[in-house]
A and B are shown apart, each in its own frame.
Chain A
Amino acid sequence: MLWLLRNVGKAVIVAEGATELVGLDPLLICHPCSFCLFALAGSCNSCEGINESVLCLFQMRDLKAVGKKFVHVMYPRKSSALLRDWDLWGPLVLCVSLALMLQGGSADSKDDGGPQFAEVFVIIWFGAVVITLNSKLLGGTISFFQSLCVLGYCVMPLTVAMLVCRLVLLAGAGTVSFIIRLIVVGAMFAWSTLASTAFLADSQPPNRKALVVYPIFLFYFVISWMILTFTPQ
């Protein structure tokens, strides 16, 4: 129960931090302990620098944790660091940047253009939630937010692919550029899927691994398709 409160508290803080980034009380963000939901008005003993400005929001500790997770995704090994200290900052940043980069394609046609910002956002987060629920219903032992954290961080290779695609499209939009984009997106798709499988596969029952891996494959395939079919204005 205590664990649940702690993690729900973390999630609420992260969710609130995502939407009200500027106007949020630094007391709420800096407080790492579990009962800050109930201690909003009180003073916080363990938060150093209670009177500091919003810089308290991005403590160096948190930034280092996020950075370490990015490195773990680049070189996926079976380490539990990504799973233990989950956070949703990295996935949020990746998702927003990917959705922003997917804008600007066929902007004039309302009907048949690329995905809107909200659509990309919903697909990534709703897809991650559905996959997590699926793995938990099949008997997985991983926690809800840990799984969301892994799936979100493993979108990073695809975000890099999107960046490369936009740069290649600046040079031209012919067949050669399409082949380059196809190879890059294909490689990053394989990397994402393998990275997330490496982290998540151990927590699944052994005779249901394929049932859990297939939705992850489908998820990254859909994101790769959105990246590959991006056509600039």
Chain B
Amino acid sequence: MATADDLKFQEFDDAANLLAANPDATTISIDEPVEIPKNQHSHRQEPGREEDDELLGTDDSDKTELLAGQKKSAPFWTFDYYQTFFDVDTYQVLDRIKGSVFPVPGKNFVRLYIRSNPDLYGPFWICATLVFTIAVSGNLSNFFIHLGKPTYRYVPEFRKVSIAATTIYAYAWLVPLALWGFLMWRNSKVMNIVSYSFLEIVCVYGYSLFIYIPTAILWIIPQKVVRWVLVVFSLCVSGSVLVMTFWPAVRDDNRRIAVATVATVLLLHALLAVGCLAYFFDAPELDIPAPIIPAHNGTTVITKSH
């Protein structure tokens, strides 16, 4: 039977003091269950978003972002800081070029090839090659078009190299800057899944320009149809690389803004291709009937020149 004392409220001492009084008492310890931080992306998994995984490479994106944070730790005034942007081997550069020329539908170029290791080697030297290829091909093409004419005197047109260099480098650096600024601004308003760093955008633009190098060489062929087919083909290839990169970044935004952004990216790309074709390559002349030449047997022959 309980005594009155047992029913009174008692204050229990600290566990340590109680144990000291009675060392043999059984003890039970209860721990808080540890919260394992879930993968952020999984919260937003919806059935229609499986393609996000492929596009984003979510399985190792967290790890690579961590690694990226550890990589660029040198201050920006040291030479080592800039060396981190040239940390690529030959096979990596060739892989990235191959990825820009043969875009796999549904695969994001940045996540698949760049993987938080953007390099400046590709963009810089692809742009340099493109500048000289366009200037040299334009000069050659004009030479072949005007070859037979008596009034034509060949000029190397060296001024056009500086114009080509200004145009292409401005496109490859200022347009990514504008796009990056725009994406940062929208990112502050709408929570995007994907946000790219400035160097990754420069990288994508630089490598997407690679297809224009063989296109510029083939533009020497003085046929209008051939040239426009080449323009459309190269625009499709490099445009698809850009679209597949930037569509996931703007998809969550207002529908009209997303479509407008991607349309502007494609429009500027097309403008570059068409502008280069129009400025550096003279139009191949249409078939003009030449003067009538009397042939040996007395009949007249009309020759066509093109």
Chain A residue, CB-CB nearest to B90: A210
Q: Which residues of A contact B247 (CB under 8 A)?
A: none
Q: Which residues of A contact B129 (CB under 8 A)?
A: 218
Decide if A214 is an interface residue (CB 8 Å cutoff).
yes
Stretch of B150-158, B186-194, B201-209 lying at the A interface? B150-158
Proximity string of chain A (206-227) to chain B, C-beta cutoff 8 Å, 1 when within and 0 when not: 0111110011001001100110
Q: A113 touches which one: B85, B139, B155 (CB < 8 A)?
A: B155
Q: Which residues of A contact B159 (CB under 8 A)?
A: 111-112
**Once bound together, how far apart are the Cα atoms of A99 and B281, in whole Å?**
28
- For A, the interface residue count at a CB cutoff of 8 angstroms equals 29
CB distance from B112 to the nearest CB of A (A): 21
CB distance from B71 to the nearest CB of A (A): 15
Q: Which residues of B contact A136 (CB under 8 A)?
A: 79
Q: Which residues of B contact A211 (CB under 8 A)?
A: 88-90, 93, 121
Proximity string of chain A (70-110) to chain B, C-beta cutoff 8 Å, 1 when within and 0 when not: 00000000000000000000000000000000000110010
Decide if A138 is an interface residue (CB 8 Å cutoff).
yes
Q: Which residues of A contact B155 (CB under 8 A)?
A: 106, 109, 112-114, 231
Q: Which residues of B contact A215 (CB under 8 A)?
A: 125, 128
Those of B103-162 within 8 Å (CB) of chain A:
121, 125, 128-129, 132, 136, 139, 153-159
**Once bound together, how far apart are the Cα atoms of A168 and B125, in whole Å?**
35
* Pairwise interchain contact A225-B125, C-beta atoms closer than 8 A: no
CB distance from B137 to the nearest CB of A (A): 11
**Once bound together, how far apart are the Cα atoms of A221 and B131, in whole Å?**
13
* Pairwise interchain contact B121-A138, C-beta atoms closer than 8 A: yes
Decide if A134 is an interface residue (CB 8 Å cutoff).
yes
CB distance from A152 to the nearest CB of B (A): 20
Chain B residue, CB-CB nearest to A230: B156
* Pairwise interchain contact A229-B139, C-beta atoms closer than 8 A: yes
Interface of B is mostly: helix
* Pairwise interchain contact B89-A208, C-beta atoms closer than 8 A: yes
Residue among B86, B125, B136 with the most chain A CB within 10 A? B86
Q: A137 touches which one: B83, B154, B156, B157 (CB < 8 A)?
A: B83
Decide if B171 is an interface residue (CB 8 Å cutoff).
no
Q: Which residues of B contact A111 (CB under 8 A)?
A: 159
Given A208-B90, A209-B90, A218-B128, A231 and B156 contact (CB-CB distance below 8 Å): yes
* Pairwise interchain contact B90-A137, C-beta atoms closer than 8 A: no
CB distance from B126 to the nearest CB of A (A): 11
Size band of the B side of the interface? 20 to 34
CB distance from A155 to the nearest CB of B (A): 17
Chain A residue, CB-CB nearest to B122: A211
Q: Which residues of B contact A221 (CB under 8 A)?
A: 132
Q: Which residues of A contact B198 (CB under 8 A)?
A: none
CB distance from B132 to the nearest CB of A (A): 6
Decide if A115 is an interface residue (CB 8 Å cutoff).
yes
Decide if B185 is an interface residue (CB 8 Å cutoff).
no
* Pairwise interchain contact A114-B158, C-beta atoms closer than 8 A: yes
Q: B121 touches which one: A134, A207, A229 (CB < 8 A)?
A: A134
Q: Which residues of A contact B89 (CB under 8 A)?
A: 207-208, 211
* Pairwise interchain contact A207-B158, C-beta atoms closer than 8 A: no
Decide if B82 is an interface residue (CB 8 Å cutoff).
yes
* Pairwise interchain contact A137-B128, C-beta atoms closer than 8 A: no
Proximity string of chain A (128-164) to chain B, C-beta cutoff 8 Å, 1 when within and 0 when not: 0000001011110000000000000000000000000
Chain B residue, CB-CB nearest to A138: B86
Q: Which residues of A contact B76 (CB under 8 A)?
A: none
Q: Which residues of A contact B93 (CB under 8 A)?
A: 211
Q: Which residues of A contact B157 (CB under 8 A)?
A: 112
Proximity string of chain B (65-92) to chain A, C-beta cutoff 8 Å, 1 when within and 0 when not: 0000000000000010011011011110
CB distance from B156 to the nearest CB of A (A): 4
CB distance from A189 to the nearest CB of B (A): 14
Decide if A119 is an interface residue (CB 8 Å cutoff).
yes
CB distance from A172 to the nearest CB of B (A): 15
**Once bound together, how far apart are the Cα atoms of A109 and B159, in whole Å?**
11
Q: Which residues of A contact B121 (CB under 8 A)?
A: 134, 137-138, 211
Q: Which residues of B contact A109 (CB under 8 A)?
A: 155
Q: Which residues of A contact B86 (CB under 8 A)?
A: 134, 137-139
Q: Which residues of A contact B125 (CB under 8 A)?
A: 134, 214-215, 218
Chain A residue, CB-CB nearest to B156: A229
* Pairwise interchain contact A137-B82, C-beta atoms closer than 8 A: yes
The 9 closest A-B pairs by CB, nearest first: A229-B156, A137-B86, A112-B155, A207-B89, A210-B90, A115-B158, A112-B157, A114-B156, A138-B86
Selected A-B contacts with CB under 8 Å, 19 pairs: A106-B155, A112-B155, A114-B155, A134-B125, A137-B83, A137-B121, A138-B86, A207-B91, A208-B89, A210-B90, A211-B89, A218-B125, A218-B128, A218-B129, A225-B136, A226-B156, A226-B158, A229-B154, A231-B156
Residues of A within 8 A of B (CB): 105-106, 109, 111-115, 119, 134, 136-139, 207-211, 214-215, 218, 221-222, 225-226, 229-231
